[in-house]
Amino acid sequence: MNGNHLFQERLTQAINFSGKSTNQIERELGYPRNALHNYKMGSEPSATRLMELSQYFQLPPNYLMGVIPDHIPNNLRAYFEQLNEEQKVEMLKITQKWMLIKIEKLKKEGN
């Protein structure tokens, strides 16, 4: 499998973003103990396991395997948490501007 290093990195990141322990995720997926640890250390998942992990973390398999460079998670909180401080501030500015426009529009519609 190409991009095994990226798979290890992205799996670790997905586990961290989940807020759950590796053991908890293994239990929820019905995997043997240390299965995810082994993947993080270089073992490659089967196609079935790759699809299960993809569904569990709500990430495309191509992203997990490093085939596509980036992915915006469906979970907005997870997306926000992966931003650095500068990006979070920029997101706040964009949101604030959007809110002010919406408030102005609502005021005009109310009159």
CB 33 within 8 A of CB 43: no
pLDDT one-digit tens code per residue, 5-42: 889 999 998 998 888 999 999 999 999 999 999 988 88
Q: What is the pLDDT of residue 69?
A: 74
Q: What is the pLDDT of residue 1?
A: 42
Q: What is the pLDDT of residue 111?
A: 64
pLDDT one-digit tens code per residue, 39-69: 888 888 999 999 999 999 988 898 898 888 7
Q: What angle is formed at CA 99 by the lines to CA 76 and CA 91, rounded to 5 degrees?
A: 45
Note the pTM of the prediction, 2 decimals: 0.61
* Residue 88, token pair as written in the block: 């979070």
